[in-house]
Chains A and B, each alone.
Chain A
Amino acid sequence: MLLPAKRLNLPQRWWWNCSVACGVLVYLGALWGPVGRAQDRAVQYAPADIRYGAQIYTAQCSACHGVNGDQVNGVDLRSGQLRRAPSDTDLRNVITNGIPGTVMPPFKFDPPELTGIVAYIRNMRDFDARAVTLGDASRGQAWFEGAGGCTSCHRVYGKGPRVAPDLSDIGAIRTADILQRTLLDPNGSILPMNRSVRVVTRDGKVINGRRLNEDTYSVQLIDDQEHLLSVAKADLREYTVTKTTNMPSYKDKASAQDLADVIAYLLSLKGLR
C-alpha cells in the first residue's frame, strides 16, 4: 500500500496540486464539487479520497494512461464518459479485473485505494486546475457569438468557420483553468500541434493554414479557405511554423464578467455523440 500523504516526500508541485485542488473545490463547487460528473450523480467524493487517488493514479496508472488520462488510444479518463465503466461499480470492476485481451491488467487494490482511485478518475479533469470564477453560460454564449468575435474563427456544433479549432467538445477536454489561460495568453497556451503554418511552393504559391498533422516528408493542413491540403516538403520552397497564434488576447478586451461567462459557456460544450 502507498504511504499516507503526510509521510510522503512529495515535491513542491504535488503540494501545489493538492492545495490547488482544494481551492478548486471551493470555486468550482457549482460545476462538479464533490458530486460525480459520470453516471453516479448521487455519489459523493471526499476530497481526501480524491487526493489519495491522485497519488495512486500517478504511481499505478499514469505510465499507460498518461498524467492527463488521455494517452491510451480512444480512452480519455478526464471526459467522464468511459465506455466500459459508466458507473463507479463498473469502474471498480474494470480496475480489479482488468480487461482481458488488452494491456489493462488486473490491479490488487485494497478498498480504500480503490475508493480513492475511482474518486480521482471521476474528478481528475479539474484536479490540477487553478481556481477560476465561472459566470453565466447563456450570457457567455451571447458574448462568444457577439462582442467576443469568437465565431469569426471558431466553429461550434456545425456553425462557424473552421479556420481555428472546432470547440464543440472543448468543455470535455479542457479545464476552466486552461480555458482562462488560453483566453488571456493565447500564444503561451497554444499546443505545438495546433500552430499555424505558412508554406510557399516551388512555383511561388503561398498557403496559410493550421497544421493538422506532420511527418518527415509531408504536412497536412487546413488552409484559410478551409481546404484540406497535404503537401510534400520536397515540393516546398519555404515552410514556416508560426509560434504565435492569430487569436487575440482578451486580457484587456474582455471584462472579468465576460471571461467568467464565456468560460462557463465553453465548459458546457461537451460534444455530440
Chain B
Amino acid sequence: MILKWRAPSLLSLVLLIPGSLCAQVSSERLLRAADEPQNWLTYSGNYSSHRYSPLQQVDPTNVKNLELKWVFQAQSLQKFESTPLVVDGIMYLTQSPNDILALDAKTGRVFWMYHYSTSPASRPCCGIVNRGVAILGDTLFMATVDAHLVAVDAKNGHVLWNNKLAEAAAGYAMTMAPLVVKDKVIVGAAGGEYGVRGFVAAFEARTGKEAWRFTTIPPPGEPGHESWHGDDWMHGGGAVWVTGSYDPALNLTYWGTGNPGPDWNPEQRPGDNLYSDSVVALDPDTGKLKWFFQFTPNDAYDYDSVQVPVLVDTNWGGSPRKLMLWGNRNGFFYVLDRTTGKFVSGAPFVKVNWASGLDAKGRPIPTPQPPGTPTFPGIQGGTNWYSPSYSPRTGLFYLSAWEDYATVFSGVNVEYKEGLRFTGGANTSPIAGADNPGGTRQGPINTYTEALAHGAVIALDPQTGKKKWAYEMHDVNTSGILTTASDLLFVGGREGYFQALDARSGTLLWKVNLGGEIIAGPMSYQVDGKQYVAIAAGNGLFVFAPRDGSN
C-alpha cells in the first residue's frame, strides 16, 4: 500500500514541480515564455511579439470540434479590446474602464475583481478601453485611461502602488498593456489628438519609482529637435498607444509612435516632425535612444505607427539577420534591421496613393492628392493597432488590412488649447452622404459595404513583401491575429465572426458568429491538458476548447 501510495505521489510531485516553481512570474520566465506554452505571460505572447502559441493540440484536422467552454460578460458597454494573460491556470483580464479580474481559466469563475475609479477629467480620444495587464512576480500592472500606472497584488487585487504619469485633463490617456523588462514596467501614453507630447517611461516594479522617461518629441537642444519649427514641438503629438517589444540579446526595447499634432494639417508644422510616426529603439535600463526609423515624415493623414513591433531572426540573402517586421498604417510593409534601424525593404500591402514608393533609405516619395480627392489608404489606415502575428513555422507575417479604402482629407489651422482636440482639419468619405468607415461600429448593420472598403487577413512573405494569400472579408477587419504551432490562424473581425484559417493556405476551417464586433487579439493557453482559445467580442470574452472526447 505504501509503495502504491508513494508512486503516484512522486508522479504528482513531478507534475507539480512546474506549478511550484511557477508560483511567481520571474523575469527569467518572461524571457523564456516559449518554454511554457500553456501560459500566456505577456500581451503579445512573447517578447518578440509574435502572437504565436507553441500549442498544437487544436489543429487543422480537429479545429471543427472547438466548442464554447465559457463566457465572461463584461460589466461595461465600452469596446472590449483586452488580451488576457494566463499564468498557471489563472486568467488576468481587464474590462473597461480599468477593472482587473482574476478568473479560473477553465471555468471563467471569478476569484477577485479590482475596480479603479477613473478621473472624470479623462478624455481618451478613441474609446474608454484597456488592452490588458503585465505581470512580474505576484504583481499585476495596469495603465489607466486617466494616465496612471497601478500595481495590484495578483492574489487578491489589492493596490500596491498607484502613480500618476501625466495630466488626464490635458488629453493624456493610457490604454495599452504595459511591458515588463527585467525589474521595470514600461508604458507609453496616448493623446495624440490633444496635442500632447508622447512618452515612453519605465518604473521600478517593486516601488513604482520612475526610472526614466523618453519623450518622443525632443525639446530644444536634443537631437531631432531640428525637425520642428518654432514652438510646434510643444504640442507635437507622437503618442505611444501600443505595447512594445524587447530583444534581450541587444538589450533594446522597441516602441511605435503616433501622429504629429495637429493630425491633418502638415503645413502648420513644417519639417519631419521627429519622432512622430516612427519606431524608437530604447535601452530598457536607461531609456536612452539607440536608433529611430520614421515611417511617415510630416504626416498629413494620421498614419500613426501604432503597431506592435514584430521581431524576427531569419536568414536574409543567405546570412542570419535580426530583423523587425512592420505592417504600417500608411499602407507599406517594412523590414528593418533591428540592430541598427536601417531600412532593409518595403512595399505597399494595400492600395496607396499618398506616396509613389519608398527610396533606398525607406523614406516615402510623397504624392499628395489634389484637394477634395481620395487618399489611399484612408484615415484608419491600411491596418491599425490590431496585433499582427508571425509564425516561425510558416515564416509568414499576418496582418488585418483595410483594402480599397480612402478618405478625403482637409487641413485647417488650429490653435492649441489644453484639453481640446488638436486635429486641425477634417476627413470625409469619398462617397457623398455615406459615412467613412471609422474605428468602430457597434451596431449590427453594415452600412459601409464594398463601395467604401473591405477587410482582409493578409499573409505576407517578408522576403519578398508579396502576398502569399489573402482572406477577403466583406466588412473591414478590426481584429488581432493569433497563429499556432499547428499552423492555425485565428482572427475575428467587425462582422462578429471568429474564424480559424489554415495559416499556410488561408483556407477557412472553422467559424462561429459571436454576435459583436471583434476588436481584440486572440490568445491561447492550456490547463489540465486541454488547449483553450480566447477572444473578446462585443462585450464578452469567449473561450473555446475541443469538445470533450473529441481528441
Contact = CB atoms under 8 A, between A and B. Distances in A.
Interface of A: 1-3, 7-14, 55, 58-60, 62-63, 66-68, 70-71, 73, 98, 100, 102-103, 105-109, 178, 189, 191-193, 195, 212-217, 241
A129 B493 CA distance: 35
Contact of A71 (B121, B438, B446): B438
A51 B416 CA distance: 20
Interface residues of B, number: 55
Contact of A215 (B122, B433, B443, B474): B474
A69 to B, nearest CB: 10
Contacts of A71: 435, 438
Interface in B347-394: 371-372
Contacts of A241: 450
Given A9-B267, A192-B431, A217-B497, 9 more contacts: A11-B372, A106-B123, A107-B420, A108-B420, A191-B431, A192-B452, A193-B449, A214-B449, A216-B497
A121 B120 CA distance: 24
Contacts of A106: 120-121, 123
B428 interface: yes
Contacts of A108: 417-420
Given A1-B415, A3-B415, A58-B412, A192 B449 contact: yes
Contacts of B193: 63
B87 to A, nearest CB: 31
A1 B128 CA distance: 26
Interface of B: 78, 120-128, 193, 267, 371-372, 410-415, 417-421, 423-426, 428, 431, 433-436, 438, 442-452, 472-475, 493, 495, 497, 511
A223 B375 CA distance: 37
26 contacts: A1-B417, A7-B413, A9-B267, A9-B413, A11-B371, A11-B372, A12-B372, A14-B410, A55-B412, A59-B412, A60-B420, A63-B125, A63-B421, A67-B426, A70-B435, A71-B435, A98-B123, A103-B78, A105-B122, A105-B124, A106-B123, A108-B418, A191-B431, A213-B445, A215-B497, A216-B473
B435 to A, nearest CB: 5
B490 to A, nearest CB: 16
A191 B425 CA distance: 25
Contacts of A107: 419-420
Kindly name the residue among A60, A68, A105, A217 whose own CB sees the greatest number of chain B CB atoms within 10 A. A105
Contacts, number: 123
B78 A2 contact: no
Given A215-B497, A216-B473, A59 B414 contact: yes
B393 to A, nearest CB: 26
B414 A3 contact: yes
Contacts of A98: 120, 123
Contacts of A7: 413
Contacts of A102: 128
A58 B410 CA distance: 11
Contacts of A217: 497, 511
A10 B372 CA distance: 12
Contact of A216 (B443, B449, B474): B474
Kindly name the residue among B420, B436, B450 whose own CB sees the greatest number of chain A CB atoms within 10 A. B420
Contact of B447 (A12, A60, A193, A216): A193
Contact of B411 (A3, A11, A55): A11
Contacts of B414: 2-3, 59
A192 B445 CA distance: 13
A7 B122 CA distance: 31
A193 B475 CA distance: 12
Kindly name the residue among B446, B450, B475 whose own CB sees the greatest number of chain A CB atoms within 10 A. B446
A216 B475 contact: yes
Contacts of A59: 412, 414, 420-421, 423-425
Contacts of A215: 446, 473-475, 495, 497
A219 to B, nearest CB: 9
Contact of B450 (A1, A8, A192): A192
